[in-house]
A and B are shown apart, each in its own frame.
Chain A
Amino acid sequence: MGDQEVKLFGLWASPYSKRVEIALKIKGIKYEYFEENLSNKSSELLKYNPVHKKLPVLLHNGKPVCESLVILEYIDETWKSEHSLLPEDPYARAMARFWAKCIEDKCTAAMRSIWRSSEGQDKVIEELTVHLKTLENELKGKKFFGGDEIGLVDITANLMALWLGVLLELKGIELLTKEKLPRLCEWIDDYLNHQIIKETLPDRENLREYMSNLLKG
Chain B
Amino acid sequence: MNLKIHSTLTTTITASQITPRVRKEKGQFSVKEPIFVTMGDQEVKLFAAWSSSFSKRVEIALKMKGINYKYVAESLSNKSPELLRYNPVHKKVPVVIHNGKPICESLVILEYIDEIWKSGPSILPEDPHARAMARFWVSFIDEKCSPAIKRIYRSQGEEREKAVQDATEHLETLENELRGKKFFGGDEIGLVDLSATFIALWLGVLLELAGVELLTKEKFPRLCEWIDIYLNCSIVKETLPAREDLLDHLRSLRRPAK
A70 lies within 8 A of B135 (CB) = yes
Complex: chain A residue closest to B88, CB-CB: A134
Residue A102, interface by CB 8 Å: yes
B129 lies within 8 A of A63 (CB) = yes
Residue B237, interface by CB 8 Å: no
- In the complex, what's the smallest C-beta–C-beta distance from A51 to chain B, in angstroms? 6
Residue A98, interface by CB 8 Å: yes
Binding site of A, secondary structure by majority: helix, strand, loop or mixed?
helix
Cα distance, A213 to B132, chains bound together (Å): 35
Cα distance, A97 to B109, chains bound together (Å): 10
A98 lies within 8 A of B128 (CB) = no
B103 lies within 8 A of A73 (CB) = no
Counting contact residues on chain A (CB < 8 A from B), the size range is 20 to 34
- In the complex, what's the smallest C-beta–C-beta distance from B147 to chain A, in angstroms? 12
- In the complex, what's the smallest C-beta–C-beta distance from B191 to chain A, in angstroms? 12
A90 lies within 8 A of B116 (CB) = yes
A65 lies within 8 A of B132 (CB) = yes
B131 lies within 8 A of A98 (CB) = no
Cα distance, A63 to B107, chains bound together (Å): 24
Cα distance, A65 to B130, chains bound together (Å): 10
- In the complex, what's the smallest C-beta–C-beta distance from B257 to chain A, in angstroms? 22
Residues A98 and B129 in contact in the complex (CB < 8 Å), given A51-B140, A66-B136, A67-B139? no
Cα distance, A51 to B128, chains bound together (Å): 20
Cα distance, A67 to B138, chains bound together (Å): 11
Residue A171, interface by CB 8 Å: no
Cα distance, A83 to B20, chains bound together (Å): 38
B111 lies within 8 A of A94 (CB) = yes
- In the complex, what's the smallest C-beta–C-beta distance from B112 to chain A, in angstroms? 4
Cα distance, A71 to B115, chains bound together (Å): 19
Contacts of B108 in A (CB 8 A): 94, 97-98, 101
- In the complex, what's the smallest C-beta–C-beta distance from B118 to chain A, in angstroms? 11
B128 lies within 8 A of A77 (CB) = yes
Residue B89, interface by CB 8 Å: yes
Cα distance, A98 to B88, chains bound together (Å): 13
- In the complex, what's the smallest C-beta–C-beta distance from B200 to chain A, in angstroms? 21
Residues A67 and B136 in contact in the complex (CB < 8 Å), given A51-B173, A102-B89? yes
| Binary interface encoding of chain A residues 56-79 relative to chain B, with 1 for a CB under 8 A from any of its CBs, else 0 | 000010010111011101100110
User: In the complex, given contacts A97-B108, A97-B111, what are 17 additional A-B residue pairs having Cβ atoms less than 8 angstroms apart?
Assistant: A51-B140, A51-B173, A60-B129, A67-B139, A69-B135, A70-B139, A74-B128, A74-B131, A77-B131, A78-B128, A91-B98, A94-B111, A97-B107, A98-B104, A98-B105, A101-B107, A102-B89
